[in-house]
Each structure stands twice: as structure tokens, then as C-alpha cells.
Chain A
Amino acid sequence: MSRTHAAFPVPATRPRVRRSRVFLALLQRDLRVARKELPFFLIRTTLQPLMFIVVFGFLLPRMGFMRGEYTSALLPGILAVSLTFASIQSVALPLVQDFGFTREIEDRLLAPVPTRLVAAEKIVAGVIQGMVSAIFVMPVARLIMGPIPGLTLSHLPLVVLIVILGATAFSALGLLLGTAISPQQIGLMFSIIVAPMIFFGCAYYPWTGLAAVPIMKYAVLVNPLTYVAEGMRGALTPSIPHMPVAAAAGALLVLSGVFWALGIRSFERRAIG
């Protein structure tokens, strides 16, 4: 090790760092780490929905247990599951390590920006990862299920809107759960919160079909996934009876706002002792 004083210079002036620049650096870090893990990430987030497609979108229709148009109701739901499951996971799971024994996240908490910006970046990174997952599932699903009656991409802006709102709501929920729940209980969280959410979120059946069981029709309205799945139906397969897209989008907007506020507050509490 050399013994020159110039080795560790102290700058004379110190320009203020732009927040947007720090935000982008934080985002680049998360995407860099995500890219290294991409194959594992896709397996983790899309295998379950894809297996569901094989059974319910391919095997059962072939056996004659399902009518052809079931796939039209299933595809948007499957996309909704991939999108939200990937969003919530990609935010909540790394937080276990980040806030674990050594608090790895500390080097980011020391960035010269407000802590809530570090939290907001986590949500944005989750949105991007959720979208990657959904974009991966879409063609594979189409391949397995064959032609899907009524599928249209003519409302693309609407699809994008629902995707962004849904991913935001679930990434923010991931931030809330990942910071509010102790690391040892994250696995449990997925079993008792996320799994029921997926099964009772109108992903595998259309909401209007629940008219057959009225109590369920209202109960599932507390489940944020319902609005993502129904919104996707309204945007991708509008010929299938669905909840009004405006209602789904409105609900997602409100949920995004609520989860965003709660998630960031919870993150700040966890970050600053």
C-alpha cells in the first residue's frame, strides 16, 4: 500500500447530486442483479402459471371437460397472475436479504437522497420485473393453448394501463409485506397471503361467473388480483363478460396509492432505527 497523501483526496467542491441520477443508479443496480438471475426468476414466477395452462388450457379442453372459450377467460387471468406474482416476489424476497443480519441495503440507504426515494425505486424495479414475467408468459401460453377465441390486441394502450397499475399495486404490496413481515415468516406469507390471493382472485375464472355464488362475488372484491384479472379480460378478451374496465382501473389506482403510501412508510421505519 503506497503512502502518498494524494491517495485519498478530499475534493474542494461538492456539486449537489441530482435525485433522478441516483434513482437511475439504484434502478440499474436492481436490474443488473435481476438480469444475473433471469432464468431462475422466470422459472420461479412463471412455472406455476404455465403448468396451470397445460392442465386447464390444454389437457382439460382436449378431454372435453372444458369448453373452448374457457381459454379466453383463462389467458388474461394467467397473465395477471404472472404479472402480480412476479412483482410482489421481486420486491419482497430480496428485502429479506437486504434487511437481514448484515443489512446489505445499507450502502443504498447511505445514498444522498431521501430514504423514500430508495423505497420508491424498489417498487419501480418490481413493476419492470413483473412486466418481463408477463411478456414471457404471453407467447408461451398462446403456444400451449392454441388459437384463443376473442383475443385482440386492438386495445393495447388499455392493456398497458392495466399492466402498469396492476404491477404497481403488487410491487408496492411486496414492499409493504417485505418490510413489515419478519424474514423468517416470508415463506409463510406466500402460503397464507399470496397463494389464497391467486386462487380467489378471479384469475382462473371470470368474476361475472361468480354470480352463481353471490357471496363469493362480493368477497373477492377485497382481493386486488380480481381487478388485475378482470381489467386484463376487459382489455384483451373483451367479448368475455367482465367487470367494467374503468371500475377495475379505478380500483387498482386506489390500491396502488394505498399500498404505495403504506409500503414506503414501512420501508422507512425499517430503514431508520
Chain B
Amino acid sequence: MTAAIATSALRKVYPAPPNGRRPPGRPASGDGGVVALEALDLEVGEGEFFGLLGPNGAGKSTTLGILTTRIRPTAGTALVAGEDVVRHAPRVRQRIGVVPQRPNPDRGLDVLENLVFHAAYFGVPRAEAEQRASRLLEMLSLTEKRGSKVDELSGGQQQRLMIARALIHEPDVIFLDEPTVGLDPQARLALWDILRELHDAGRTIVMTTHYMEEADQLCERVAIVDRGKLLALDTPARLKERAPGGTLVILTLDGDATDAAQRARRVAGVERVESEATTMRAFASRGGELIPALIRASEEAGRTVTDITLREPSLETLFISLTGRRLV
């Protein structure tokens, strides 16, 4: 497997915001800057479908911004398609297609022009560009909109236009930044189909998401990132195996959960218990059966259980066990 992407000790520190407030979840650097990315080492194989999973502010978009030459790293190196993203940015750009987090079509141009001009920026001759554009519009069900202003498109249609734009110059590596945020479930599934096709056609795909399900369904390997650090990196199946104790039981109490958590740790079959404010999380191999015992433990601590949630082993339970926080 040759590497489509390789990063080494990639670091990004943004200058301190003028109001002195840091965005939540981002540690400060020594000089007061905001560390978005700590020291990321990552390798993505050619033709791989790779996911970057993490909550908002984890450093996913910064990573994507660096790999797509739109953000300059503070330190470290990143190679995309064998080229350095800082020293040979134009060469990298020629090999990549980017689908942004928010659709940003060129509003001065209509739908077809958006595609034809984008192709022209990559040196594709006009006739060829129009052919490709027609084909992409057809495949992405946008043919009727070819002469429309982009403002007349729905959110899902704009997102599909962004995908067409990212493909028109036939890139080797496609980057998608939270591509399904804001899409209705139907549009989301349609997008998944398109991404699978792109992957089947041999493209390398790198996608950020904060939806566990999406990463699980689509990606061959997933990197879990939080606060600018890589926490885990593996196939979704193996990552799920690493989730402690299989099932996760989350109890919400009517007061502080520390004492109840102490008692819950003594319940047979419970592998790990964490508490945070009024929330208690218990990882156990036999999730459901332990619920009465966990409720009893809480009541012994003088608390009433107000809510119980049960989660099957998933990337989400792993994420919670790694970070102590929910993803969304």
C-alpha cells in the first residue's frame, strides 16, 4: 500500500484570539496561542476510505485544511500524493478535490458555469469540461438545474454541486469536511452511495465527521481525534472491539454521581465506572442485566435515577471511554 497521505509531527497553533477567549476544547500553547493540532502522525493508503472522527474543535478541519493547502502548518510535514503541501502546494492542488463543510459555490456563476470554470482553473479544455459537467450533473441528479443560479438550489443540491465540482478535474484524492451535516436522511444516504462509488472507482477518500454511524458505515480505517491529538486509529471493527466492557449504561441522577459510582464499582460484572457531575457511565459485558443493580447502587447513595440509556458496543462507546465525553 503506497501512501496517498503522510503526515509527520504535524502541528498547528493559531494566534491567540484578540478577545483572549479560547474556543472550548482547545488547549493554549506557551505563548497564548490556540493549539488546534498537537503533533499528528498519519498515513493514508492509496485508494483507502479514511475517516477522521471527533467532536467539534477536535482539529479535524484544521487537519483537512493543511492537507488541502488552505492552512499553513506551524510545524511538521504533510505529503499528499507524494508532494509537500507547503513547498509544492500547486502540485498538491492538482491532485485533490475538496468538498467544503459549508457549500461555497461561486454565486456569480450559474450551476453549469461553476463546473466549467472550475475545470478551466485546472486546464481542462472547454469542450471536454462541458462534457464532464453534463455527465456529473446527470449522475448527481442536477441536470434540470444546469442553468439555475446557485441560490435557487436546496442545501442537498448545493452539496451535490460541491461534489461535482470536486470531481470535475478528476482528482486522485478527495477530501470531504463533514459532508453530511445539514442534509436530510435521504440526501445523506444518497451521498453515502456516491462516496462508495468514488471509492470503488479507486479514489482515496478522506472524510471528517462527527457521526459515529457514518464513519462505521463508510470508512475502512478511522482515526479518532480529540483536542488536537490522535487517540486511536484502526478499522471500525477493531476499534469497536477495543471499547471497554462491551455495553455502556449511562445513568442520569438527580444529584452528584460520585458516591453512586463508588458503589457501582462493587457490582459484579461491571468493568469500569466513570462519573461526571450527575452522570454515571458503567461499562459491562452484560449491559441490560446489570441495570437493577446499578439503580440499587444509586439509591443506596441517596440518589434517584432520572434517566437510563443503554449503548451497544460502537465507536461512540469507545470515544466516550477515550475522552469521557459524548461526541455530539
Residues of A within 8 A of B (CB): 1-3, 5-11, 14-18, 21-22, 25-26, 28-29, 32-33, 36, 94, 97, 101-104, 106-115, 271-273
Contacts and interface: CB of A to CB of B under 8 A. Distances in A.
Contacts of A7: 135, 139, 197, 201
Interface of B: 14, 65, 68-72, 89-91, 93-96, 98, 100, 102-109, 113-114, 117-118, 120-123, 135, 139-141, 165, 167, 170, 172, 190, 193-194, 197-198, 200-203
B65 A273 contact: yes
A32 B170 contact: no
A25 B118 CA distance: 9
A129 to B, nearest CB: 14
Contacts of B98: 106, 110
Contacts of B91: 112
26 contacts: A1-B141, A8-B167, A8-B197, A8-B201, A14-B95, A15-B123, A16-B94, A17-B94, A17-B122, A26-B121, A33-B108, A33-B109, A102-B102, A102-B103, A103-B104, A107-B118, A110-B68, A110-B93, A110-B96, A111-B93, A112-B90, A112-B93, A112-B123, A272-B70, A273-B70, A273-B71
A107 B106 contact: yes
B197 A5 contact: yes
B94 A10 contact: no
Contacts, number: 121
B62 to A, nearest CB: 8
B172 A10 contact: yes
Contacts of A28: 117, 120
A21 B123 CA distance: 6
Nearest to A109: B70
Contacts of A110: 68-70, 93, 96, 98, 121
A272 B94 CA distance: 17
Contacts of A109: 70
A111 B202 contact: no
B170 A10 contact: yes
B77 to A, nearest CB: 16
Contacts of B94: 14, 16-17, 112
A89 to B, nearest CB: 15
Contact of A25 (B100, B120, B194): B120
Given A10-B201, A22-B122, 12 more contacts: A8-B197, A8-B198, A11-B170, A25-B117, A25-B120, A32-B117, A94-B108, A104-B104, A107-B121, A109-B70, A112-B121, A272-B71
A163 B202 CA distance: 53
Contacts of A1: 139-141, 190, 193-194, 197
A14 B194 CA distance: 24
Contacts of A114: 89-90
Contact of B123 (A18, A32, A94, A102): A18
Contacts of A271: 70
Contacts of B190: 1
B107 A97 contact: yes
A29 B194 CA distance: 29
* Complex A-B, nearest 6 residue pairs according to Cβ-Cβ distance, in ascending order: A17-B123, A25-B120, A33-B108, A112-B94, A111-B121, A102-B104
B109 A32 contact: yes
Contacts of B122: 17, 22, 111-112
Contacts of B135: 7
A192 to B, nearest CB: 22
Contacts of B14: 273
Given A14-B95, A111-B93, A273-B70, A106 B121 contact: no
Nearest to A103: B104
A175 to B, nearest CB: 17
A3 B72 contact: no
B90 A9 contact: no
Contacts of B70: 106, 109-110, 271-273
A100 to B, nearest CB: 9
A101 B135 CA distance: 30
Nearest to A24: B120
Contacts of B69: 110, 272
Nearest to A117: B90
A34 to B, nearest CB: 9
A9 to B, nearest CB: 6
Contacts of B194: 1
A69 B109 CA distance: 47
A5 B201 contact: yes
Nearest to B171: A10
A235 B201 CA distance: 63
Contacts of A36: 108
A10 B105 CA distance: 24
B65 to A, nearest CB: 6
A272 B14 CA distance: 12
A113 B122 CA distance: 9
Given A25-B120, A111-B93, A111-B122, A5 B200 contact: yes
